[in-house]
Amino acid sequence: MAIVVTNVKRPSPASVEALSAFGVATVHEAQGRKGLLASYMRPIYRPAHICGPAVTCELAPGDNWMIHVAVEQCQPGDVLVAAPTSPCEDGYFGDLLATSLKARGVRGLIIDAGVRDAATLTEMKFPVWSKAVFAQGTVKETLGNVNTPIVCAGALVRPGDVVIADDDGVVVVRQEEADAVAKAAAAREANEAVKRTAFERGELGLDIYKMRERLAAKGLRYVDQKDLKD
């Protein structure tokens, strides 16, 4: 009953391009703090930053067969997003598959499992976010789905959604919201630039964000250490 969905609609290159200017934290904020993958998803080398439409791949535990099927569905600029159907840290992916994805113009791999050949992947500058680095091999026996919606590291990823990954982790943006999120992210960055200048000259967040009154209203009190008794 496994299927491969072909000819998946992707967001326009302009949408992806727009989003690719931003980091994960900014995009996550700009879309209302959703779509973040779990904190255990870490880049195998740093710094790293990618952005592209997702090709999704569901895997059996300890079985990387469907990655080979997924590779064929990848187009230049895509990001491969893979997850096993139950937790597994085996090394599903190494330098040969990276060579194949690189040859197809794929921007990187997000996998809720392990990868291996970490030193070679680092030399090749093929970026990977994974749950583990582990030499354990996998088999090729069990089918899974390609380009169906999957839950990867706690987040729902649908094929064609935009994935952004950097040193802070991985976030997914729904394809239909890509343009709005890019716009919101740009606004957020412009706002942060102003704040950064204020912080650089020594202004306090208490004043920049006008927090003092609300803190006092909630009951915050200042006590000199010499007036404390304990």
Subset of 65-104 contacting a copy of itself (CB under 8 A): 65, 67-69, 71-72, 85-91, 94-97, 99-100, 103-104
Considering only 20, 142, 188, 189, the residue that binds a copy of itself (CB under 8 A) is 142
Considering only 1, 76, 213, 229, the residue that binds a copy of itself (CB under 8 A) is 1
Residues between 150 and 209 that touch a copy of itself (CB under 8 A): 151, 154-156, 159, 166-169, 171, 192, 195-196, 199-206, 209
Least separation in angstroms between residue 229's CB and a copy of itself is 11
Contact 61, 51 (CB under 8 A): no
Report the alpha-carbon distance of residue 113 to residue 129 in Å, rounded: 9
Contact 128, 109 (CB under 8 A): yes
C-alpha torsion sign, points 145, 147, 153, 157: negative
Q: What is the DSSP letter of 94?
A: -
Does the footprint of a copy of itself cover residue 21 (CB under 8 A)? no
**Pick from 78, 131, 65: which is nearest to 108 by CA?**
78
The one segment of 4-12, 13-21, 178-186 that binds a copy of itself by CB under 8 A: 4-12
Considering only 76, 190, 213, 219, the residue that binds a copy of itself (CB under 8 A) is 219
Does the footprint of a copy of itself cover residue 8 (CB under 8 A)? yes
Least separation in angstroms between residue 180's CB and a copy of itself is 12
Least separation in angstroms between residue 130's CB and a copy of itself is 11
- Measured from the Cβ of residue 1, the count of other Cβ atoms closer than 10 Å reads 4
**Pick from 137, 149, 153, 139: which is nearest to 84 by CA?**
153
DSSP line for 177-206: GHHHHHHHHHHHHHHHHHHHHHHHTT--HH
Residue number, 14 or 204, with CB nearest to a copy of itself: 204
Least separation in angstroms between residue 128's CB and a copy of itself is 12
Residues in binding contact with a copy of itself, number by CB under 8 A = 103
